[in-house]
Amino acid sequence: MKYLIKVPATSANLGPGFDTLGICWDLFLKIYVDLNSNEKVVINKNKQEIKKNDLFIQALNYTLEYLNIPNKFYKIELDSEIPIGKGLGSSAAAILGGISTAEIISTKKVDKIEKIKIALNFENHIDNLSACLEGGVVTCLKNENELSFTRLPIKCDIYGVIYIPTYTIATESARKILPLNYPKEDVIFNLQKLSFLITGLVKGDEDLIDMGMEDKIHQPYRFNLIKEYTLISELLNGKFKKKVVLSGAGPSLLTITLSYQKALEILKNLENNLRNEIEGTFRILKLNNKGIEIESL
């Protein structure tokens, strides 16, 4: 038996939804699983063996042990479109990809909350994990007593125009620069903006979305790490009245629109005006409503 698992990229936070919101994109880690193999091997698309400390292999082995599955042979090939360390949920995709692969090898089903609990052994970002698993736009809840997530009832298409720099920023480094305490006014600001963002996403109202995509909890501190932010923000705000947010902890920068034509116009404008000033790449992403997909080959 052969299978293809498609695990999507995600963007967490979307501005005011710090550790709360996640969106799923049509950019994938593809996992080809062959259960007819007479060996146990995990390789990349260049046929190089994946190291044992890779998050995918760690999650795969942990889940197989968790499910009490004895040694089985398999050949797995990984082909990822998701850039690593750019704020697009590459770690969440690798972890959930390993868990989903273990499901196929074991033929046992693991429910969604159980998958999240397993995944939290490897990273603590439930916003990326839940969006990757569920698809669409997800709001999540995690504290000492509760673990849950729910998908927003979105009916419209959503497009992200994203700038992906050439450099990376470790999430933990981006988290360390955040303050331990915040003024009450900043917390209220974020709550108000988040309510407008969620309402705009559900209603398909781009004006409300733009009103909501601002933050005072994490972005003012993290934008200082991203040298291209001012150039991109000023261009988009001046010409399109669009807000720019971090994708996760960055360094990728994101703006959202409900029209593909508008996304294309924004993309071309950014490329034409900034191609000689910055070194990264721009691309258009589309909302993925399916989350992780598994198909027989």
| 85 in a known ligand binding site | yes
Burial 272-291 (b: 16+ CB within 10 A, else e): eebeeebebebebbebbeeb
Q: Give the separation between CA 253 and CA 292, rounded to whole angstroms.
A: 24
| 95 in a known ligand binding site | no
| 89 in a known ligand binding site | yes
| 84 in a known ligand binding site | yes
| 91 in a known ligand binding site | yes
| 100 in a known ligand binding site | no
User: Residue 248: which of 94, 91, 117 has the closest Cα?
Assistant: 91
User: Residue 149: which of 137, 163, 164, 165 has the closest Cα?
Assistant: 137
Contact 210, 15 (CB under 8 A): no
* Residue 295, strand partner residues: 4
User: Residue 106: which of 3, 249, 7 has the closest Cα?
Assistant: 3
| 141 in a known ligand binding site | no
Contact 54, 94 (CB under 8 A): yes
| 93 in a known ligand binding site | yes
| 11 in a known ligand binding site | no
Annotated binding site for ATP: 83-93
Annotated binding site: 83-93
